[in-house]
Amino acid sequence: MGRLLALRVFALLILSLVLHVELVSSIYANQAGVIDWHHQYIGTPKVSFFHKFVSRGAYVLVASDRNVLASINVRSGNIDWRQVFDGNEDILAFKGYENTAISVSRRDNDYMVRSWESHSGFMLWENRIKNVGLYKNSNPSIENDAPKVEVIFAANKPNVLILLEGSTVINLNAIDGKQIWRSDLAESSTILYKLVEFKEKVYGVGLKKSFSSYTIEVVTYDISSGILKTQLLNSKVDNIKDMIVLGGSIQDGFIIWSEGGFIRVNRLGTTSIEQSSLEELYENVIPSFVNADGILELLDLNIRSRTEFLVQVPTKKGNTAAAFKVDHASGRLVALYDFEEKSENSIYSATFDKNERIIISRSRVIAENATEVDIIAPGSGTILGNYKIPYSFNSYGELKKSVLDVDSKAMGYRMLVTSADGSMHFWKDHDVVWKSEESLAHTIEAEFLDLPERKLWTQESDELAEQPEETETISPLIRYIRRLKTHIEQLKDFPAYLATYVQRLITGDYEAEFKLTNKSKVSLHRDTFGFRKLLIFVTRTKLVALDTINKGQIIWSRFFGNDVFEFKNIFIVRSSTVKYPPIVVAIGIQKNSEGKFVTRLFRLNGLTGEDFIPAENEKSFPPELSIPITTKRILKLPVEEPDERTHIIALIDEELKFHIYPNHENSIKAFTQFAPSFYFTLSDDIGEKALKGYKVVKNNVQPFDITEIWTLNFPEGESIAAIGRRPPNEKVASLGRVLGDRSVLYKYLNPHLVAIATLSTSIPTELNVYLVDVVKGSILHHATHENVGSSHPVRIAQVENSIVYHFWSENDNEKGYVIVVYELYESENKDQRFESPVLSSFAHERPHVIAQAYMFPYGINAIGVTTTKHGIATREFLFALDTDQVFGVSKRFLDPRRPQHALTNEDKEEMLIPYDPAIPDNKKWVLSYHLSIAGIRHIITSPALLESTSLVLAYGLDLWFTREAPSKTFDVLSEDFSKGTLLATILGLILSILITKPMVRRKKVNARWY
């Protein structure tokens, strides 16, 4: 109690300090990148290739599944340029052409063809192609696994030929993007897959549905006029995978398909078909095919117009492959090289060197920590390289795709490899040149994890490691000696500590002790000010932990691709503040062998990423658990089980059964005690038309039943557009708001209050904001905004007793983004409150709501709120702007008490800012200075140990971390504080005291004599 009181007095003191602090804070140019860090990501590559054009050297051009085009520097892995498309504009094709690269993307129902200057990323031209696929009546079974778009370049003309939706072929001028001709297939049963161009003719190769399989159809276009003729080949193909098309450009093109027991080859433009028997192939030509045990697969190496290709066959022990070539003159298949049988899955890529010699790489993971790459020139059969490259299988999973390139200057082979978790690796010969954790571009959720104190860390290995029996037998004296020993042990660190202390004093760099030295890995412990935390990210199939300092270095990562189909949530069920390591529970879904969904839970040590197995109760806390349910919702309950002191997690399945995890006796007991006061909602997702409240029925057996206790149906045509969610560890410093005359407005602090915004389908659209108490399901406040832009998302943030929401207003006199702030008080009158020591939702207490609206200069993608240790520092709302910046607005600007009249003395005393209809577009409020942080979807915050400071993480595509002090760093000496002067003054004073003291004494003694 005494501590609490002291804390409050302290809080009061700080509050008074805070209120005197300036509002605007920004950083100086030399502070950029010192406390913040920015990771740029592009997502998992869909298309990637080495692009070389004259003297500029090579770079990797990538089009990713996050709809980003990027150019990556091969030496550093840095992004030279990046173009981020809208989330709903999928990139379908990307191909380099001389000094440009052509991208095809689909937006709404139209296709966008754009040309980019490949070294700068500037767009040269754009052509929007409409009405594609109008006549199409495709068969979805083959459409699914086919490339939708094919882009080729004509050999002797600056023409780009694009195949769209398997039916439309467009010829564009590559210089300016003008359309030369367009041809739509009127015939509906044919789907084109491939384009090949040679000798002034363009061949579209497709499949036409026949009775049980498909027939190959070739559509021939004249390159200048686009006039077409179609021709059917006498063929039977079961699947698009069984057919590849090679060649073109300056040479002839060929269609290769497997049919029956033969591989057949057709020279395009003719009807002649050459064939080779598979039996022959298996028995005589390729020795390793003898063990074949499955259907062979044709692999297109995608090397421009070359006619080499691979045939891969699974064997009993693994798989094998062989390289083939279509001989131009004869049009026959020629076997080039047998890759031999290997037990691991292999991926292949090919390129050719300056002598036009084809080179193929075969990469496979050979051990937990290594991959092997073979570089082979199949023409001559020579092995050019065999490299073992360090690779963590646990972190990245299988290899998925590789792109090979010959570094002609340095004479080496380099490869861009994409792994199963989505990350990119760049290898050169034996070395990993760089890698990029692109899985973070797919982050689903992120959490801050507090690190343990150093003290606990050493004690853990010292005292806490002892067995319980030992603990009982140890005498206090021995314990004391042991403790003493620990301290002596710690004394060893003292010189280092002193050194860092002095260094810190001089440089003011508080992270100095954590800066990575080459010597050893820095142990994971908290720093003095609590700036160091772990960031745990859960991506689709992977968990990644980053350090908040050291520029976001990866501490551990773990790939679950084989166990998890997709992660849904991550929870920190036990924090590090206790003596034991923090525990993280990651929950994902997986399809089991019967095709049913299974929910999988993994219990990990948050500091290492390893499975967490407790010393006792091992059976009650399995590190992995599968529950055969499809979860509808997953909740972290505010109750702990007594054994391991971890939070209980609830899973609600599709049949509305309530499962708890961990599922053992004591946790069920803890839960049943808690259950009577527990309420939750389901179906509170975006787009829902109603909100339902539930309660667990008391029946001591797992799974529990739940019962619906209320339903809130929104009016006809309204559906949920946004839900306000409070920051998880919300600390409220003051229960009321002090006014200018020193009276108090008491805050309405109901934790069950949720702000829900709905948009109506009517025109003009209406935005309704409901403040709902989710315990009893009643609406405590309701507001309507008419004429709202329905295509702009609504965002809500909720903190303490305030709610902020942002939308687009279509009203004529106030067209633009509007931000509204609510504050909820217990009463309209000062010094009046609900006289009750408890807060129950069932009491008839309604908040008094005051609100104000402002015009906001930007559209936003996410709202965050700073959180500090005690919640004393003024809060700041953090907005992820649609200009890829983070913008911080102090709560003092988003304050519904801003007076709309001239400031009175009382207003001044309350330090209110006069109302202004617009939130100023103050560039100093942009926290991310000149950085462009693409694709932010969430902003999360966490308190540091310093009251002034909040840790901020913005994630989505990029990651950006910073520390924000919304009321300035009032509890730290500023960087320009001259410690030297202070020390010199103190020293000077001590010196002068030493000198004058004898003088004064002598004088006093002398004075006695006279």
Partner 1 sequence: MSNKWRFDFSNLSDQARKYEIRGQTYVVDAPPPPGFAASVPAITSNTKGNVKNKKDAQQVPTEKDQETLKIKKAWDAALSPGKNIPMNAFMLWMSGNGVQIFSVMITGMLFFQPIKALMGIDSVFERYESPKTKSQLIWPKLVYVILQLLTMSLGLYKCSSMGLLPTASSDWLAFMEPKQILEHSVI
- Residues of this chain that bind partner 1 (CB under 8 A): 5, 8-9, 11-12, 15, 635-639, 650, 674, 677-681, 684, 723, 725, 732, 734-736, 738-739, 741-744, 749, 751-752, 754, 774-775, 831, 836-842
Q: Is the Cβ of residue 682 or residue 972 nearer to partner 1 in the bound state?
A: 682
Minimum distance from CB of 313 to partner 1 (Å)? 53
Give the separation between CA 863 and CA 879, rounded to whole angstroms.
Answer: 5
List the end-to-end C-alpha distance of the chain, in Å, as a whole number. 61
Taking alpha carbons only, the member of 872, 906, 879 closest to residue 893 is 879
Beta bridge mates, 446: 537
**Token representation of residue 491:** 């004394």
Tracing tokens 């950083």 back to the chain, one arrives at 27
Whether the Cβ atoms of residue 721 and residue 793 lie closer than 8 Å to each other: yes
Q: How far is the CB of 866 from partner 1 (least distance, A)?
A: 21
In whole angstroms, the minimum distance from the beta carbon of 897 to partner 1 comes to 15
Torsion of CA 60, 64, 67, 72, to 10 degrees: -20
Which tokens hold the place of 72?
């990556």
Question: Considering beta carbons, is residue 650 or 952 the nearer one to partner 1?
Answer: 650
Q: Tokens representing 560?
A: 């679950």
> What span, in angstroms and rounded, lies between the C-alpha atoms of 700 and 697?
9
To the nearest whole angstrom, how small is the minimum distance from the Cβ of residue 751 to partner 1?
Answer: 6
**Least distance to partner 1 from the beta carbon of 804, Å?**
17
Of 453, 471, 447, give the one whose Cα is nearest residue 615. 471
* Half-sphere exposure (Cβ direction) of 42: Cα atoms closer than 13 Å: 27
| Cβ 177 to partner 1 shortest distance, Å | 50
For the bound state, the minimum distance from the C-beta of residue 678 to partner 1, rounded and expressed in Å, comes to 5
Q: Which of 850, 758, 885, 859 is nearest to 806 (CA)?
A: 859
DSSP for 273-340 reads EEEEEHHHIIIII-GGGGGB-S--EEEE---TT--EEEEEEEBSSSEEEEEEEE-TTT--EEEEEE--
Give 635 or 946: the residue with its C-beta nearer to partner 1: 635
Nearer to partner 1, 457 or 680 (CB): 680
- Full DSSP string of 849-891: EEEEEEEESS-EEEEEE---SSS-SPPEEEEEETTS-EEEEET
Residue closer to partner 1, measured from CB, 507 or 711: 711
Minimum CB separation of residue 675 from partner 1 in Å reads: 9
Residue with smaller CB distance to partner 1, 134 or 732: 732
Residue with smaller CB distance to partner 1, 838 or 1007: 838
Q: How many CB atoms lie within 10 A of CB 22?
A: 7
Nearer to partner 1, 732 or 911 (CB): 732
In the bound state with partner 1, the residue whose beta carbon lies nearer, of 669 and 725, is 725
Q: Which of 519, 844 has the CB closer to partner 1?
A: 844
For 572, the token pair is 């920190």
Cα distance between residue 847 and residue 396, in whole Å: 52
Q: Shortest gap between Cβ of 572 and partner 1 (angstroms)?
A: 15
Q: Parallel, antiparallel, or unpaired for β 445-450 and 950-956?
A: unpaired
Smallest distance, partner 1 to C-beta of residue 694, A: 10
Residue type, 505: L
Q: How far is the CB of 829 from partner 1 (least distance, A)?
A: 12
**For residue 4, which amino acid is it?**
L
CB 658, min distance to partner 1, A: 12
Residue 598 is which amino acid?
V
Beta carbon nearer to partner 1, 16 or 212:
16
Q: How far is the CB of 6 from partner 1 (least distance, A)?
A: 11
At its nearest, how many Å lie between partner 1 and the CB of residue 892?
18
Q: How far apart are CA 28 and CA 491, in angstroms?
A: 39
Cβ nearer to partner 1, comparing 302 with 719: 719
Please, which residue, 138 or 681, has the CB nearer to partner 1? 681
Q: Which two tokens stand for residue 837?
A: 């020591």
Quick one: 155 or 738, whose CB is closer to partner 1? Answer: 738
Would you call the peptide bond into 703 cis, given omega within 30 degrees of 0 as the criterion? yes
Distance CA 604, CA 353 (A): 47
Contacts of residue 987, Cβ cutoff 8 Å, sequence gap at least 6: none
- Residue 40: what are its φ and ψ, rounded to 5°? -100, 135
Looking at beta carbons only, is 5 or 477 nearer to partner 1?
A: 5
In the complex with partner 1, which residue's Cβ is closer, 119 or 747? Answer: 747
- Please calculate the CA angle 644-650-656 and round it to the nearest 5 degrees: 155
Closest approach of partner 1 to the CB of residue 738, in Å? 4
Q: Are 314 and 321 in contact (CB under 8 A)?
A: no
Give me the least distance between CB of 715 and partner 1, in Å please.
Answer: 21
Q: Residues 6 or more apart from 701 whose CB is under 8 A from it?
A: none
How far apart, in Å, are the Cα atoms of 1003 and each of 98, 398, 680?
95, 88, 82
Residues 6+ apart with CB under 8 A from 598: 589, 590, 591, 592, 626, 627, 628, 629
Q: Which of 397, 434, 395, 440 is nearest to 416 (CA)?
A: 434
What are the C-alpha distances in Å from 493 to residues 29, 451, 483, 497, 512? 36, 20, 16, 6, 15
CA–CA dist 657, 387 (Å, integer): 53
Q: Is 669 left (phi over 0), alpha (psi -120 to 50) or beta?
A: alpha
**Least Cβ distance, residue 536 to partner 1 (angstroms):** 20
For the bound state, the minimum distance from the C-beta of residue 552 to partner 1, rounded and expressed in Å, comes to: 31
Q: Whose Cβ is closer to partner 1: residue 15's or residue 512's?
A: 15
User: In terms of DSSP bridges, do strands 308-314 and 950-956 run parallel, antiparallel, or are they unpaired?
Assistant: unpaired
* Nearer CB in complex with partner 1: 353/909: 909
